[in-house]
């Protein structure tokens, strides 16, 4: 019986699927990130692994995998895996694209609205017993209509976010390494340089994968280009924005607000961020809907079953 090692409890659909296909499931069932030692022990004789973005599959881990045919990452991002080395070792790597696109775009808009209308600040104000009645100048925010919405990375999630932003009356511009004809047509959007996007956007929303090229792509110089009234949102990966530089522009109120679902040193969140009023902070919940997580679990399981049955994976990250 082929063994599938799963590094943490995932939603039932994937587990059921693997059981029905007759695979032996070994699961790290505690509700915390698997300790490294247990990870290395669990993957040793596994035929397949379902991994999370919190598990590092570097050379050391990959070298421990004696039988493994596939690492099925339960995430669309796969920066936790040394892809080049996995490829060298002929281990297939898959991710879970498409199934979480809408949920992540929804959360992006939730952050946009929270920042623009100061929702977390307003709720704290009310819960703190400070609400004395309606006031003309109380907690004034920003209206979205006619604002320039800059999408950094016009892939699937960028596309769905643009759709939502357009429905709120925003004008869309985008930065991407490639021209995206469909995106341009759908949103009458212009492709611009990153500098130009940072300069002219009222809202900047980051939707890029993390890799060597995108690490700190949004650095101090880029952040300094932003308008005083602008908002930056990150639901991609923390390391794409230089967090120290972001904290500095937020402290100096050089931008209006930031909405962050991801951080450079997750799960640690810089204490300075926690003190700021003009930032909305979420614990990496972009894809955290019942629907998306069920689909992610099932897709990861289908990738595993396909490969262990000698078929092609559904969503490989390299060919």
Q: Which residue lies nearer to ligand DGY by CB, 226 or 301? A: 301
| Residue 103 C-beta: closest distance to ligand DGY, Å | 8
Q: How far is the CB of 98 from ligand DGY (least distance, A)?
A: 11
Count of residues binding ligand DGY (CB under 6 A)?
7
Nearer to ligand DGY, 201 or 287 (CB): 287
For the bound state, the minimum distance from the C-beta of residue 61 to ligand DGY, rounded and expressed in Å, comes to 19
Residue from the set 101, 287, 297, 315 that interacts with ligand DGY by CB under 6 A: 287
By CB under 6 A, the residues from 57 to 116 that bind ligand DGY are 75-77, 100
Q: Is 48 in the site for ligand DGY (CB under 6 A)?
A: no
- Closest approach of Cβ 292 to ligand DGY, in Å? 8
Give the whole-angstrom CA distance, residue 38 versus residue 19.
23
Query: Is position 233 an interface residue for ligand DGY (rule: CB under 6 A)?
Result: no
Question: Which lies closer to ligand DGY via its Cβ, residue 202 or residue 261?
Answer: 261
In angstroms, the CA 73 to CA 100 distance is: 13
State the catalytic residues: 237, 266, 284
Could you tell me whether strands 190-191 and 148-152 are parallel, antiparallel, or unpaired per DSSP bridges? Answer: unpaired
Q: Which is nearer to ligand DGY, 83 or 122 (CB)?
A: 83
Name the residue nearer to ligand DGY (CB basis): 75 or 301.
75
> Edge-to-edge strand order for the sheet containing 171-175?
190-191, 171-175, 148-152, 203-206, 231-234, 257-260, 279-281
Min separation Cβ 299 and ligand DGY, Å: 11
Q: Going residue by residue from 241 to 280, which x/- string records binding to ligand DGY, judged by CB under 6 A?
A: ----------------------------------------
Check residue 53 for interaction with ligand DGY (CB under 6 A): yes
Write out the residues near ligand DGY by the rule CB under 6 A.
Answer: 53, 75-77, 100, 286-287
């Amino acid at each position: 019986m082929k063994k599938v090692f799963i590094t943490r409890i995932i939603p039932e659909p994937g587990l059921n699927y693997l059981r029905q296909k007759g695979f032996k499931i070994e699961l790290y069932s505690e509700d915390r990130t698997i300790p490294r030692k247990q990870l290395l022990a669990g993957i040793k004789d596994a035929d397949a692994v379902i991994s999370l973005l919190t598990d590092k599959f570097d050379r050391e881990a990959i070298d421990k995998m004696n039988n493994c045919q596939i690492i099925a990452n339960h995430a669309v991002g796969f920066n936790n895996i040394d892809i080049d080395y996995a490829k060298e070792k002929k281990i297939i790597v898959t991710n879970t694209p498409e199934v979480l696109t809408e949920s992540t775009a929804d959360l992006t808009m939730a952050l946009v609205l929270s920042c623009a209308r100061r929702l977390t600040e307003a709720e704290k104000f009310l819960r703190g017993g400070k609400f004395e009645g309606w006031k003309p100048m109380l907690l004034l925010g920003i209206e979205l209509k006619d604002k320039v919405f800059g999408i950094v990375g016009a892939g699937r999630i960028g596309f769905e976010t643009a759709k939502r932003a357009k429905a709120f009356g925003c004008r869309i511009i985008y930065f991407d390494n490639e021209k995206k004809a469909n995106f341009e047509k759908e949103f009458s959007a212009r492709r611009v340089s990153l500098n130009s996007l940072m300069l002219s956007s009222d809202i900047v929303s980051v939707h890029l994968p993390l890799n060597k090229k995108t690490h700190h792509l949004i650095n101090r110089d880029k952040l300094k280009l932003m308008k005083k009234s602008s908002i930056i949102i990150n639901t991609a990966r923390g390391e794409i924005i230089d967090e120290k530089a972001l904290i500095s522009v937020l402290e100096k109120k050089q931008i209006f607000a930031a909405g962050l679902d991801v951080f450079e040193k997750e799960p640690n969140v810089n204490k300075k961020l926690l003190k700021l009023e003009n930032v909305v902070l979420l614990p990496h919940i972009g894809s955290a809907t019942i629907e998306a997580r069920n689909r992610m679990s099932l897709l990861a399981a289908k990738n595993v079953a396909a490969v262990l049955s000698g078929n092609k994976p559904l969503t490989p990250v390299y060919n």
